[in-house]
Structure formats: structure tokens, C-alpha cells
Amino acid sequence: MLATGLEGVVAAETAIATVGQESLGLRYRGYSVVDLAEGASFEEVAYLLVHGELPGRQALEAYRERLAALRPLPEALYAILRLLPADAHPMDVLRTGCSALGTLEPEGAGRDQYAIADRLVAALPTMLLAWHHAGRSWVPHAEPSGLAHSFLLALHEREPDPLSVRMLDASLILYAEHELNASTFAARVTTSTLSDFYSAVCSAIGALRGPLHGGANEEAMRLIERFPDPDSAERGISEMLRCRERIMGFGHRIYKHGDPRSPLMKSWSHRLAEASGDRVLFPVSERIEALMWREKGLHTNLDFYSASAYRLAGIPTPLFTPLFVLSRITGWAAHIIEQRAHNRLIRPSAAYVGPEPRAFVPIEQRG
């Protein structure tokens, strides 16, 4: 039977995450994502995903120091980033930066897959921020702080408020891994040909960029921002639904009864809205959520409340999907390593629906 979009097809075994099919809820290597988002830091989760177990105190400290040391880029990469157009989409910048790093520090020659995974976890944020700040290098914080803190510090060039840091840390944890989503599958397909680590990550970044996947958080923000108040949101979204338009940040291939990550992001968005005195973004978002449930029976996914939470933390919209990359690189790395350990070429088949067999006519006789 044809499974369009590969819906329901079990295409791999994985020990990395469950997304609910086995009544286990969303778990990373057995740990509930809610517990991780509430009690762990992004670096602990990155280590868990890439290296297989939660780190102890010393291992975590060593990991943070290693990442801090791996943040600066080779001068040639800063030069490449400086050449990219200022109006390029930062997802294209990350895809290009990842590819360029693969030429400067190729896999092999003393660089194993774990070293490349750590390098990309550390260096992708530097690429994004260096490009954002017009090619300036990102000097790592003397005390190796977590990605959420260093990112906001480098983005705004001032000490970030603790609530925004905690929100971003939780969000990076929630975005880190999600089984065979489209970008992870793209990474596994490329890996299955025995290609290199960087090529697999470039495939994944390309897949994540689309609005049906990671690009949804940016599109959700652009939508929410259109409305000055909940009533106009109600009118605008109703009209979009009448025209059969898709509302980004709603629906999910796996979660038909709600995305377990979404309530966590909603609560962060709510807390940031209260702290900043926001009277528009959060109420508009809630009204859209109620309308979508009433009219379409659709729930929010992680991307919907990430949008307002990121905006309330002062993050520019074009950086939303790139932030997803800075987190999901950990899940991609885990899957690339797992695919290699049990590799078989991924090569499905298609049902042919083209023309009947016909005779070739040489160009001279075709008219």
C-alpha cells in the first residue's frame, strides 16, 4: 500500500527517543522531556543525546569547557561568512557555514564523529552570531556558561535577563530531538550512503528550513504579529481558514491529541509576557489557539508558543529556525552515529504513474 509522506512507516530502530507511540511519552534515552526541560541544562541534554548518558558533575564541567574552547572558528570561515549577503536567510548561512567547515576540518585525519559532533554543537552558534554581527568573531565568555546565556549575551551585547535565559535553555532542550522527523530522516538518508558527517548535517539543515518543519516558528511569528488584538486575530484567522490556508504552528504528523512540548513553551511565553507587561502577543496567541481548536480540532505544536516566547526575549524572527538548528544538531548527531552503527542504504521504492512504454523518436523526426 502507498504511504504518502511515509506516514506510519517504521523505517528504523532507534534507542535515542520515543515520541509517544509506545505509550512512553516523549523521552530522550528514557528520560521524560518534561523532567529534562524542568531540571536539566541544554548541555546535559546535548551530552546525553550525543554521548549516550547524562554526564556527572565533572564530565559536565569538562564538556562545557570543551564546547567553549571549540566555539571560535577558523579565520577562513569568518572570511567566508563576511562574504555572504547581509539579507541572506540565516538558515542558508548555517548550511553554508557547516559545508565550509567540512572543507576546512574534514572528517577523518584524526577527527572522529564524536569530535565533529562536539565541534558543530559549539561552532554553529558562533557562525550564526558572527554573521549576525557582520562577520565579527564571537569571543567566548571567560566562564563557560551555557548556550542559552552565551547566545543571548552575544546577541544583545549585554547581560540577559535570567527569565529569558531559562526560557531559551528549556526551549533548546525541547527542540533537541524528535525521532524520525523530516530533517533527521534526511540526515540518516545521507548517512546511509556512507557520506561524511557534515554532508548529513547540511541535508538536515536544508530539510529543517521549510515552513512545514522548523520554519514554522518564524511563520507563526509573522502571523501573530499581523494582529493588534485578539478580536482582529479571530477575524483574520477565520478568513484564512475559509480560504483553506494552513496556520503555521498547528497540527502534527505524530501528535493528533496535542504536542507534549507545547504546554511547556506556552507557560514560558506566559511568564515572559507577564514579566514584560505584554498585552498583545500572548492574548492574540491564546485566541488563535482557541479558534483553531474550535474550528479545526487542531492543537498547537512546539513552534507556536516558541514564537511569542522568543520574541518576548528580544530574539529577531529570522533567528528562530536557526536556533532550532543549534539545538537539533545534537539529535542529528546522535542519529548519524546510530545510523552508522547499524547501517543499511535507505532506498525506498515508488509506484510508477507515468506514461505507458513508448518508442523513442530521434530529434530529426520530432518536428
Residue at 139: amino acid letter: V
Task: Tell me, letter by letter, the H, E, C secondary structure of 172-200.
Answer: HHHHCCCCCCHHHHHHHHHHHCCCCHHHH
Cβ proximity to ligand COA, 281 vs 298, nearer residue: 298
Cβ proximity to ligand COA, 247 vs 336, nearer residue: 247
The residues that touch ligand COA, with contacts defined as CB under 6 A, are 5, 212-213, 216, 246-253, 296, 298, 301-303
Cβ proximity to ligand COA, 85 vs 297, nearer residue: 297
Give the three-class secondary structure for 19. Answer: strand
Name the minimum Å distance from CB 239 to ligand COA: 13
Cβ proximity to ligand COA, 133 vs 296, nearer residue: 296
CA-based nearest residue to 16, from 304, 342, 260, 264: 342
Nearby residues of 214 by Cβ (< 8 Å), 6 or more positions away: 183, 208, 303, 321, 324, 325, 328
Name the minimum Å distance from CB 246 to ligand COA: 4
User: Does an H or E element contain 146, and which?
Assistant: none
Name the minimum Å distance from CB 178 to ligand COA: 8
Nearby residues of 35 by Cβ (< 8 Å), 6 or more positions away: none
CA distance 40 to 27: 14
Contact criterion met (CB below 8 Å) for 280 and 225: no
Cβ proximity to ligand COA, 211 vs 314, nearer residue: 211
Cβ proximity to ligand COA, 135 vs 318, nearer residue: 318
Name the minimum Å distance from CB 296 to ligand COA: 6
Catalytic residue positions, numbered: 213, 252, 303
Nearby residues of 301 by Cβ (< 8 Å), 6 or more positions away: 216, 249, 250, 251, 252, 255, 259, 261, 262
CA distance 206 to 155: 24
| Residue at shortest CB range from ligand COA | 251
Name the minimum Å distance from CB 237 to ligand COA: 10
Question: Across the beta sheet with 31-32, what order do the strands follow?
Answer: 17-19, 26-28, 31-32
Nearby residues of 190 by Cβ (< 8 Å), 6 or more positions away: 199, 200, 203
CA-based nearest residue to 176, from 121, 125, 222: 121
Name the minimum Å distance from CB 220 to ligand COA: 7
